[in-house]
Amino acid sequence: MKIWLRKAKVEGAIAIASVLSWKFWILKSKLGSAIAIVGVLSFKFEVVE
């Protein structure tokens, strides 16, 4: 019973960690795409000038 409880705690911790990392990945990808858009826009702006 104790082993099962410990296993459930570990699985719960892994699930929480995966959800947090998924949210962090979405945030990071949004940030990355924003930086990419800004980079492309500034590049086009330099080409125009």
Q: Across all residues in the chain, what is the average pLDDT?
A: 84
The DSSP letter of residue 6 is: H
Our measurement of the distance from residue 41's CA atom to the centroid of its chain's CA atoms, rounded to an integer in Å, reads 24
Q: How far apart are CA 18 and CA 11, in angstroms?
A: 10
Q: How far apart are CA 23 and CA 16, in angstroms?
A: 11
Q: How far apart are CA 8 and CA 11, in angstroms?
A: 5
Residue 49 reports pLDDT greater than 70: no
Q: How far apart are CA 39 and CA 29, in angstroms?
A: 15
pLDDT confidence bin for 22, thresholds 50/70/90? confident
Q: How far apart are CA 22 and CA 25, in angstroms?
A: 5
